Amino acid sequence: MSEFLLLLLGAALVNNVVLVQFLGLCPFMGVSNKLDTALSMGLATTFVLTLASAAGWVLEHAVLAPLGLEFLRILSFILVIAAVVQFTEMVIRRLSTPLHRVLGIFLPLITTNCAVLGVALLSVQEHHGFLHSLGFGFGSALGFTLVMVVFAALRERLAVSQVPAAFAGAPIGFIVAGLLSLGFLGFAGLDFA
Amino acid sequence: MWSFPRTLSFRGGVHPQPRKQTTRNLAIEPLPLPRRLYLPVQQHIGAPARPLVAAGDRVLKGQVVAAGDGAVSAAVHASTSGQVLAIEPHPAPHPSGLPLLTLVIAPDGADRWVDLPEPDHALSLSREEIARRVAAAGVVGMGGATFPAAVKLNLGTRHAIDTLILNGSECEPYLSCDDRLMREHPGEIIDGARILRQALGAERTLIVVEDNKPEALAALRERLYVADAIQAVAVPTRYPMGSERHIIRAVTGREIPAGQLGADVGVMVHNVATARAVHRAVRHHQPLVSRIVTVGGGAVARPANLEVPLGARVQDLLDHCGGASMAPARLLMGGPMMGQVIPHARVPVVKGSNGVIALTAAETRSADPGPCIRCGRCVAACPSGLTPLEMASRIRAGDLDGAAERGLADCVACGACAYVCPAHLPLVQYFQHARGALADRREQGQHQERIRRLAQRRRERQEAEARAKAEAAAQRKAERAARRQRKTAGKEHETEA
Amino acid sequence: MYAAIPVLTLLGLALGYALGMAGRYLKVEEDPITGEIEALLPGTNCGQCGLPGCVAAAQALARGEAPVTLCPPGGRELARQLAEKLNVQADLSAMEADAGPVFAHIDPERCNGCTRCFKVCPTDAIVGASRQMHAVFPEACNGCGQCVAVCPLQGITLKPPAPSLQGWRWPLPETH
Amino acid sequence: MTTPTPVSGPHTHAPGGIATDMTWVALALLPATAFGIYLFGWPALNLLLVTVTSALAFEAVCLKLARRPLRPALSDGSALVTGLLLALTLPPWSPWWIGVLGAGFALVVGKHVFGGLGQNLFNPAMLARVALLISFPLEMTTWVIPQPLFTPGAPGFLEGVAITFAGAPVPDALTGATVLGQAQTGLSQDLGLSRSLEGVYDPLHQALGWIPASLGEGSALLLLAGGMVLLARRIIPWEIPLALLGTLALLATAFMLVDPECHAGPGLHLSSGGVLLAAFFIATDPVTSPATRAGRLLFGAGCGLLVFVIRTWGGYPEGIAFAILLMNAMTPLIDHYLRPRTFGRTRRGRPLEPTQTAPDGAGRRP
């Protein structure tokens, strides 16, 4: 069990999908203006990513590998991810229309979120077992959500402070993201051996 | 179930230097009648009073010159006998210096009371009778809130009041008017307490005094008989102990739910000066025509506690106290924590002014506001458990909804946060501005709602008129057709005949 | 190698079918937003937004063609509500620093009681009979300005309310 | 006589202000700084002066750029304190450009990009230290065995200037590893802690500061004394130091009991590597720490936990800088969720129920 936990921690903190591997930056910068939207975006991405990495593993080991079609991996993964995202959008619109209206434009963005495809491909490359790749996907998504929420809170604070006009908005956002990844370097080389 | 430790206190609060030394040992001295008295028609919360007299009328002391107008209002009485010179706008005791309809009275020096009924020492008066006399006397909350006292008594009928608190805490620095009142007239205050308890039917009556006024406590306890079942309670000195919500929380441990009043938790709070005014109103039928005002601050030559006829101008008080020894940095009506700066000394003393304080620059310790360094001292000081720095940063950024969401409505504007802020930020002014802007926004919303309804109704009326006209036209056409038809039928009849 | 084409088509068909089923199962009809927007607009059809009436303005807003600051009589308050409803950032700076509500004021010397303004006011805010002095109810007037245009003697002007103690507001303290 | 614009709110004020607080912080740092200079001689003094002056210079340049008045901002001492704190965390004999670059990064990117004092999201000094550590690992990890001033082995004034400014190499005989560095290398070669630390870690020395360390992190006692002064003056909150040191000590003892060979005890953890300097002077930076009591306790505990995790399992021997940066990033989130209970409302913000408001049993008639 603790081995599974360490995998989660490793995926979430040590090589955090956003701040260390620099994947999924467009929703990270785009949706992080308000804390609650960032949280719901993070949860939606977690839902999609976990499903996608599971589906990816099944696809890889049940279809692509036996038929020797590894070169189709990226294409088929994107197809699956797009389907999962479309399914998530329907679920969200059914569950809460205001949330759907708020997230509106950004839901399809998850399809193009390179973190989702990246993590699915990574877990295939590292030949994880099914449970392992599920854990890796979930861990990375947790890391993504954590950093999204922390970054959203930081930007909400910046929104009410007097940032010089030259830096207000996106520039200060990028600077803070950079400084945040500076902090995350502290987790570099963290291994619980 | 919330269990509040009985610490006779509340969260947060600050300890400003009391600076009462200069005036707390000076006996109350009457202010000689000034040349003119300026009585505004609005000295209370609620609708302004309607003047009953006209320019040129002669009035006697205690005669009603303006009657209360509507449910929440208070009458205004002549503070002395004399002639009404004019009823015209004069500067109100308010930072904006905007005018307010004011009765200008020229005293004739006789100071002759209007004939009053015999004093009535009956022990048990009915609740309605007490409320009527208090209303007739125009008594309002003298602690500074100036809410009409009679309306509060009627409020007491709709809720079961089991505790009456007389607020003698006087936690504002510099002020000593309540302190002197408790030391010199404890009997009148206690009798006022009995009358109020009689009106409210409260089981417990507490006169609450901060423990930095031991002489006042002693004077009250000395005059209290065991039969009275009235206790004089000492509470730790802390600002804002005088705030109604916090004195109830400190003394009874009950916390008024947000948006409700003291009566909702069965407690009624009145200032000690209000109790004395109730005593005079009910026992001697004397209306509220004068009040005790502390004149203090570093810029006043000879600080004093004065019994001032309502309507006297601040300039008269300052002149009586030897004038301002230097130009005051800030001239305040009320205490330095919640009092308001007045634009000039030509404003009248009204029912709610408990102090005229002329502060020197050194005493204000004011400095240009620096940046907020988020030190959190305002959060620790806030007695209402809010986060002033978050509210202020949102207001500065123009996000009024964000400030409202952080608890702007629960702020009692006591000033504890701005007092401790190391960056000297005018936090209270941020909150006052935001509340005003939100009030404007609500009013504009209601105004638009009204406009939509009116436009809607006008469209419906026009459509109805159009329909009615169309029907009438159609009906007339039908009749004409019928008539023509009968005529042609008639003609055919003739041709056949 | 030749299995690639059938695998992909099969995968696409399977996913498409699954989404179709989910679509039917999770059906929810989208309530049109134009109705809600129209409820917000003043409804006086004054045309100051350049659109023929409030219903047209509501449709334009729903389609996102018009800015939320299109309605001067509505002022900043309406712009803020529309921005909230359409979930869009409203830069209120475009609207002139809201001088606050303005009301029509009829100049007593000039009014000869021709009742033209009385007929054109969308909210019946003007009171008066023919050849009698006319007056405006401030509570019922939202400064749409139609009466100003129609008065033959230019007797009507739009004025902000007189400053009063109740209306006075604390200014925002200026920052460093 | 008249006040032109209406001024509301309290017309009197508590004594003190930002400037007095900052000067007290600087004073509280003085003993540790003086001792650091005494321990590491002239090069340390040169480094300190270079760092502090360049901090003030950068502050002035940024204020000029922002077209803001120089006097109030420069004189509130915040730039001085940032420069001082940064200098204290640098290796004592590091070259001058380390100090200048660090001060530049701290003041420009760490503070004025956000809009000046009170707007920055990360502690400028720690930001600069982490940036330097990552960009110049060699210079930032050359520790020196203490050469008290005027003792024979110590470099004279001229040599000191040469070391700081002319980049003269530090003689190998004088270099040594900090205790934490020693512990980490020992662990990585699977040597038991006791063998790799004997002769290096001596609690008394550690407390007094006779060990290779950063300029100001030497003596634990002087830092503790400075911290107590600030606590007594109520300039820093007590929650953060208590929570930070408490959590660190707790974790260290727990893991030491479990496996003394792999985990150093609380004594070493607390007294080494600038934990005390950070706990009392850096983590308590009001701008980047939460504003409520519960928030500060969580902030301190978070710092303590992260320091322990990075030191025990992380790649870097010293984790305090990273811990503080990460918890600074969490501060807006902590302030968003941890708020005091509003008067008359439950913790979730709804008005209290009538039953909840009469707890003193005074018996209220229905």
Confirm whether C68 is domain-assigned: yes
Question: A69 touching C, CB under 8 A?
Answer: yes
Quick check: C26 and A76 CB within 8 A?
no
pLDDT at D357: 59
Of B371, B395, B455, the CB nearest to C44: B455
Q: Give the closest-approach CA distance of C172 to chain D in angstroms.
A: 10
Given a cut of 80, is residue B426 above it in pLDDT?
A: yes
> Which region holds residue D265: left if phi is over 0, alpha if psi is between -120 and 50, else beta?
beta
Q: Which of D61, D111, D117, D325 to mutate to test the interface with A (most CBs of A within 10 A)?
A: D325
Q: Which residues of A113-136 are buried (b: 16+ CB within 10 A; e: fewer)?
A: bbbbbbbbbbbbeeebeeebbbbb
Residues of chain C neighbouring B441 (CB-CB closer than 8 A): 77, 80
Asked if C131 and C112 sit in the same domain, the reply is yes
Q: Give the closest-approach CA distance of B6 to chain D in angstroms.
A: 8
Question: B89 touching C, CB under 8 A?
Answer: no
Confirm whether C17 is domain-assigned: no
Asked if C91 and C42 sit in the same domain, the reply is yes
Pairing of strands B355-359, B204-210: unpaired
Task: Output the domain CATH number for residue C74.
Answer: 1.10.15.40
Confirm whether B218 is domain-assigned: yes
Asked if C87 and C117 sit in the same domain, the reply is no
Q: Is the pTM of this model over 0.95?
A: no
The chains found to touch C (3+ Cβ pairs under 8 angstroms) are A, B, D
Question: D316 touching A, CB under 8 A?
Answer: yes
Instruction: Give per-residue pLDDT as tens, B324-372.
Output: 778 888 999 999 999 999 988 999 999 999 999 999 999 988 888 989 9
Given a contact cutoff of 8 angstroms between Cβ atoms, the answer to whether C130 and C72 are in contact is no
Confirm whether B5 is domain-assigned: no
Asked if B384 and B284 sit in the same domain, the reply is no
Q: Which residues of B433-464 are buried (b: 16+ CB within 10 A; e: fewer)?
A: bbbbbbebbeebeebbeebbebbeebeeeeee
Instruction: Give per-residue pLDDT as tens, A1-41.
Output: 778 888 888 889 888 999 999 998 888 988 888 898 899 88
Which residue in chain A has the smallest CA separation from D316? A186
Asked if B62 and B177 sit in the same domain, the reply is yes
Average pLDDT taken over every residue of chain B: 90
Confirm whether C154 is domain-assigned: yes
**DSSP state, residue B262:** G
Which residue in chain B has the smallest CA separation from C42? B452
pLDDT at D207: 67
Given a contact cutoff of 8 angstroms between Cβ atoms, the answer to whether B397 and A159 are in contact is yes
The residue-averaged pLDDT of D290-309 equals 94
* Cα A141 to Cα A45, A99, D327, distances in angstroms: 7, 20, 21
Beta-carbon contacts below 8 Å between A and B: 12
Asked if B274 and B409 sit in the same domain, the reply is no
Quick check: A94 and C175 CB within 8 A?
no
Confirm whether B346 is domain-assigned: no
Quick check: C77 and B445 CB within 8 A?
yes
Distance (Å, rounded) from C-alpha A170 to C-alpha A150?
16
Name every residue whose Cβ is closer than 8 Å to that of residue A162 and which is 6 or more positions away in sequence: B396, B397, C175, D115, D116, D119
pLDDT, greater one: A186 or D330 = D330
The residue-averaged pLDDT of A41-64 equals 89
pLDDT, greater one: A68 or B31 = B31
Q: Give the closest-approach CA distance of C55 to chain A in angstroms.
A: 23
Asked if C118 and C90 sit in the same domain, the reply is no
pLDDT at C31: 59
Q: Give the closest-approach CA distance of C116 to chain B in angstroms.
A: 16
Confirm whether C114 is domain-assigned: yes
pLDDT at C45: 74
Number of helical (H) and strand (E) elements in chain D, helices listed first: 16, 0
The two tokens of residue B450 are 């009204």
Find, among B89, B84, B102, B252, the residue nearest to B167 by Cα: B252
pLDDT at B312: 95
**Residue B496 confidence class, pLDDT cut points 50, 70, 90:** low
Given a cut of 90, is residue D13 above it in pLDDT?
A: yes
Contacts 24+ apart (CB under 8 A), D133-139: D133/D316, D133/D321, D134/A182, D134/A185, D136/D98, D139/D91, D139/D94, D139/D95, D139/D98
Confirm whether B16 is domain-assigned: no
Instruction: Give per-residue pLDDT as tens, D55-95.
Output: 999 999 999 998 888 887 777 889 999 999 999 999 888 88
Instruction: Give per-residue pLDDT as tens, A70-95.
Output: 888 888 899 989 998 888 888 888 88
Confirm whether B480 is domain-assigned: no
pLDDT at D362: 41
Q: Which helix (H) or strand (E) holds D332?
A: helix D320-337
Confirm whether B334 is domain-assigned: no
Asked if C50 and C85 sit in the same domain, the reply is yes
Of D66, D309, D316, the CB nearest to A164: D66
Asked if B277 and B385 sit in the same domain, the reply is no
Given a cut of 90, is residue B486 above it in pLDDT?
A: no
Instruction: Give per-residue pLDDT as tens, A137-171.
Output: 999 999 999 999 999 999 999 999 889 988 888 89
Average pLDDT taken over every residue of chain D: 85
Boundary residue ending a domain (B290, B312, B333): B290
Chain B, window 90-149: residues with a beta carbon less than 8 angstroms from a chain D beta carbon: 95-96
Instruction: Give per-residue pLDDT as tens, B446-483.
Output: 888 888 888 889 889 989 999 999 999 999 999 999 99
The three-point CA angle B158-B162-B167 to 5° equals: 100
Q: Which domain holds residue B40?
A: 32-107+124-290
Given a contact cutoff of 8 angstroms between Cβ atoms, the answer to whether B164 and B270 are in contact is yes
Confirm whether C26 is domain-assigned: no
Q: Among A126-140, A145-159, B99-113, B414-428, name the one with the lowest average pLDDT.
A: A126-140
Q: Which residues of chain C have pLDDT under 70?
A: 1, 28-32, 89-100, 176
Q: Which domain holds residue C51?
A: 32-96
Confirm whether B68 is domain-assigned: yes
Confirm whether C21 is domain-assigned: no
pLDDT at D1: 43
Confirm whether B165 is domain-assigned: yes
> How many distinct structural domains can be found in chain C?
2
Given a contact cutoff of 8 angstroms between Cβ atoms, the answer to whether A153 and A171 are in contact is no
Asked if C89 and C123 sit in the same domain, the reply is no
> How many distinct structural domains can be found in chain B?
2
Asked if B173 and B55 sit in the same domain, the reply is yes
Boundary residue ending a domain (C55, C78, C96): C96
Pairing of strands B340-341, B330-333: antiparallel
Quick check: D122 and A163 CB within 8 A?
no
The residue-averaged pLDDT of B29-41 equals 94
Asked if C88 and C123 sit in the same domain, the reply is no
Instruction: Give per-residue pLDDT as tens, D137-187.
Output: 888 888 877 777 777 777 777 777 877 787 777 776 667 777 777 777 777
**DSSP state, residue D351:** B
Given a contact cutoff of 8 angstroms between Cβ atoms, the answer to whether B441 and B434 are in contact is no
Instruction: Give per-residue pLDDT as tens, B390-424.
Output: 999 999 998 899 999 999 999 999 999 999 999 99
Asked if C53 and C86 sit in the same domain, the reply is yes
Boundary residue ending a domain (C96, C112, C128): C96
Quick check: D11 and B339 CB within 8 A?
yes
Distance (Å, rounded) from C-alpha B356 to C-alpha D236?
38
Distance (Å, rounded) from C-alpha B482 to C-alpha B476?
10
pLDDT at B4: 40
CA C173 to the chain's CA centroid? 30
What proportions of chain C, in percent to the nearest 5, are helix, strand and coil? 40, 5, 55
Give the torsion sign (CA, D33, D37, D40, D45).
positive
Q: Bridge-partner residues for B408, per DSSP?
A: none
Asked if B414 and B275 sit in the same domain, the reply is no
Boundary residue ending a domain (B290, B308, B328): B290
pLDDT, greater one: C132 or D243 = D243
Quick check: A159 and B393 CB within 8 A?
no
Given a cut of 70, is residue B1 above it in pLDDT?
A: no
The residue-averaged pLDDT of B269-285 equals 94
Question: C23 touching A, CB under 8 A?
Answer: yes
The two tokens of residue C152 are 């033959």
**DSSP state, residue B397:** T
Task: Output the domain CATH number for residue C118.
Answer: 3.30.70.20
pLDDT at D4: 61
Task: Output the domain CATH number for residue B259.
Answer: 3.40.50.11540
Residues of chain D neighbouring A35 (CB-CB closer than 8 A): 333, 336
Given a contact cutoff of 8 angstroms between Cβ atoms, the answer to whether B88 and B36 are in contact is no
pLDDT at A6: 85
Alpha helix locations (H) across B309-360?
A: 314-320
Asked if C116 and C136 sit in the same domain, the reply is yes
Quick check: C173 and B454 CB within 8 A?
no
Q: Which of A150, A156, A181, A187 to mutate to test the interface with D (most CBs of D within 10 A)?
A: A187
**Residue B205 confidence class, pLDDT cut points 50, 70, 90:** very high
Confirm whether C170 is domain-assigned: no
